[in-house]
Structure 1
């Protein structure tokens, strides 16, 4: 008997009516043209609490016994799961406690409290917060709400697959991010049990590829560390339930690099006017960077969430802009004489580049006397434009260093 069935997912959908919104499946002309496929974006970044997590959390809590509900629920999370559990519990009049690492962003702490949860800050990492979660549950009789490795949670996430089928019955390929595997597991069951011909693909950040490593080893693998801007899928070890389902139902798992994720975030903001977090952007990154060998297909891409920290956006945009050839920085040296900086900027102006910033330094001891070091940041058009700029500067005898 399957751990999670299609009927479980259909039942979850009925329970989620009036709680989770049915998000749009939006066709993107831009990304369709860029990839050579018909690309549809499943906008879970516009879901309540800003991610798909409300689906699984609500389904799990709704299935608790009255005794379990009376004692409340607890979850360890620094992000989307925290907010999903908080709102789901509040919707049902149940007390919720969320354990977050002490370094959790203040915005996420405030959002979780705003949805009605008590927040405990404990430890420096998710693992330490998880230990406090287990202690709290044992001491207070609260029920732990797992982030991914639970049949009810998986069934709730699987409702996304039903919605995709309803809006695009002839979909060829569906792509979702992978962290612990709850989202991919639920979507895969919903799709494959409805139409086995649909190709289901999961995407991990290369720096947090615990499911890929588990598949390679043939058993659950625990990574030593994970470090990625896709913090929503920064998981060291998948669940045994999700591993089993993904092994049976998922066709391929691919990975994407940090710069590819950053570029996808930037593209979604610039071309689709959508704010997404790193985990969401992995799916588009896989399609646009040829990680998936498909052409002329109808592809549904799940954008799993939009809860990105504002203080991260600037860095992510910069990384994406650099990869796209839209921004460069470099150093060069000038004779320290009147007009030298003007001459450099005049050459740059002729190339059509836009100056973002200039730092002129003549005092650092490492700089030769009678010289000045100049650091320049430029806004550029594309990678070819960057090559033209560098060639033009070198033709004017400027030595370019530290190009990035």
Structure 2
């Protein structure tokens, strides 16, 4: 190929992959093995000492997973990536490299309910403390910074409401504070938004959602932008200080602009163990090949459904950034000009009971706890994904008692609208 940089659709099909050198297989094989044979004792020692790259044990790395990692890094514009067992696992591995007991990180209040629960409760056992900020008030992030702050965490498109976050503005706060900005890009995918282009230092995904796209495999991924100086003032000792388990190597010095991805692999994944199955990596790779086609259809359908709901008498409000009267419309035009995503919420005039009732009456939409499937999905967050929150917290996160969340699939939009029309009429 010439020196021309490949386009997004080409990368989605080809990045990281070559025909198998042994068999000539064009599709990436599933390397369903636990371990890999060393050439000799010196080769084994160099792999274990981080003096050479190669395969040791599938918990740490696998050739199928490596293709997935290279592909997502290319799509996001990062220097390297690490695939793990789930989106939640990605968040644990990322923050393990950044936080010591007693440290803090700032998180946007509008997040997936499972992340809110993980940050609020599970991370307490590690001594990691979350401080909440309002993504609609950039000043709240500035006010939340303390000497113990080690990171800022946001979603590019927030779950469940589909609101757009001003990544550049929050990146400015993170830069001033001297901490990395972590962006969960699950709902946007790199087809709609590339957070690194707007100042993100680390990107995470639930591969389970739009990247995989077919509701058949769980996975997560961490992308290193290669933009953060981890040696600053000794704030991040996992990366800047000598690692005793690797004969005193300083990861920042040795690996430069992909040091964070290496740290996540050889300190996080190695010891915590949330490895991604090579079979799941294969399924997700297959899904990524059609990502640009699917995401455009998702977005086109979502806009049509949102416009229908906005004009229905049973609907109190629609929260979709692709509608011109939405408060996030201008941010959507800036960050996601190809489409405002496929996940959004709407409120029913009948409140909590109407939301629960609607879900039970839909026929084409599947009632389940997931997003990003080719199939259209529905859930009532207040009674499910956000049920662990009190009413005030539910409202702040965009999951009030009257709210229904839709994840719009790639079916014919006329059929989706007809299903909603009959359920609302009933």
- What TM-score, normalized by structure 2, do the two folds share? 0.31
More strand by share: 1
- What TM-score, normalized by structure 1, do the two folds share? 0.33
Give the greater-gyration-radius structure (CA): 1
More helix by share: 1
